[in-house]
């Protein structure tokens, strides 16, 4: 593994961990971590998944990006696009090979960013979204969550203390989950991570919803979601699949009965192993 800096912004280095497939392959997947856009880091990728990607002949670049709410979604997606530009323009200099094909893979918020990148980067060869979302204006994210309201109420004073005055590029769930929980309990997550008003800024918000900007240039896409997901409703992937279908985009939708959020972290389960094998086959078909 080699750590690279793909961008320096606001005094912060945005880093990526590069895992080589140790083959002549020039296919790369960019992995985007989850965490509600508020916490997480490039280190969150499972090493067993890295191993399987590499064995399939795929290099992996797992990246950090600036976190919300200190940084808003329009700037965060710029970080993702800048990582892709770095791969195309600097990988030969830094890593000794020129990527021929690139895909983006993400989970949860990372799946959302992967889908958003797909809407802006038609040169991508594939997009894989694990329990991501295509619509951040829907009630699941813009109204109080019945699931999170069952948990202890987070006071505003505590949430405010979790916001920093500096740019963050990584943070642990232990440090920042309280802020995510507060936003979901109050029904203000969408507004806080975008800095936009649901009514007055609807046109700008539409551009940040992958499901609203799908057209026939969208890359081939695979969507995976647990049917019992309590954090991000499975309907988010189902709805995204409908939009891809309407646009004539090649796509695969895989829903897993009985599975919740983060199901792919349980690689010891047979149904999860089968799902991940389908992901590898999808990526092989489009990249190798």
Beta bridge partners of 8: 13
Domain count, the chain: 1
- Percent of the chain scored above 70 by pLDDT? 100
In a domain, 247, yes or no: yes
In a domain, 181, yes or no: no
pLDDT per position as a tens digit, 248-263 = 999 999 999 999 999 9
In a domain, 110, yes or no: yes
pLDDT per position as a tens digit, 55-84 = 999 999 999 999 999 999 999 999 999 999
Question: Given pLDDT bands bounded at 50, 70 and 90, which one contains residue 23?
Answer: confident
In a domain, 173, yes or no: no
The reported pTM is 0.98
pLDDT per position as a tens digit, 79-129 = 999 999 999 999 999 998 899 999 999 999 999 999 999 999 999 999 999
In a domain, 162, yes or no: no
Q: What range defines the domain where residue 91 resides? A: 2-137+203-287
In a domain, 80, yes or no: yes
Sign, CA torsion 182/235/118/275: positive
pLDDT per position as a tens digit, 193-244 = 999 999 999 999 999 999 999 999 999 999 999 999 999 999 999 999 999 9
- Percent of the chain scored above 90 by pLDDT? 97
In a domain, 71, yes or no: yes
CATH assignment of the domain containing 223:
3.40.50.1820
Q: Of the candidates 102, 97, 100, which has an alpha carbon nearest to the alpha carbon of residue 114?
A: 102
Contact 181, 154 (CB under 8 A): yes
H helical segments located in 121-155: 139-142
Q: Strand 2-9 vs strand 12-19: parallel, antiparallel, or unpaired?
A: antiparallel
In a domain, 279, yes or no: yes
pLDDT of residue 46: 97
């Amino acid at each position: 593994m080699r750590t690279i800096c793909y961008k320096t912004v606001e005094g912060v280095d945005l880093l990526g961990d590069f895992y080589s497939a140790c083959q002549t392959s020039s296919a790369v997947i960019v992995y985007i971590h989850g965490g509600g856009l508020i916490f997480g880091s490039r280190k969150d990728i499972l090493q067993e998944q890295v191993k399987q990607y590499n064995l399939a002949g795929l290099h992996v670049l797992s990246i950090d990006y600036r976190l919300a709410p200190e940084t808003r979604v329009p700037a965060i997606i710029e970080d993702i696009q800048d990582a892709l530009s770095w791969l195309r323009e600097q990988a030969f200099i830094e890593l000794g090979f020129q990527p021929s094909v690139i895909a983006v893979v993400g989970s949860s918020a990372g799946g959302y960013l992967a889908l958003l990148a797909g809407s802006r980067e038609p040169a991508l060869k594939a997009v894989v979204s694990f329990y991501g979302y295509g619509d951040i204006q829907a009630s699941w994210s813009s109204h109080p969550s019945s699931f999170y309201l069952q948990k202890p109420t987070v006071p505003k004073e505590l949430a405010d203390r979790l916001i920093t005055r500096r740019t963050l590029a990584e943070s642990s769930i232990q440090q920042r989950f309280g802020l995510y929980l507060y936003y979901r309990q109050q029904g203000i997550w969408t507004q806080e991570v975008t800095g936009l008003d649901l009514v007055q800024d609807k046109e700008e918000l539409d551009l940040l919803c992958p499901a609203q900007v799908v057209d026939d240039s969208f890359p081939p896409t695979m969507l995976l979601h647990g049917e019992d997901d309590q954090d991000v409703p499975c309907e988010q992937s189902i709805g995204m699949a409908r939009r891809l279908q309407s646009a004539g985009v090649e796509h695969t939708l895989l829903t897993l009965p009985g599975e919740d959020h983060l199901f792919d972290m349980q690689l010891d389960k047979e149904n999860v192993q089968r799902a991940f094998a389908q992901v590898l086959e999808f990526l092989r078909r489009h990249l190798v």
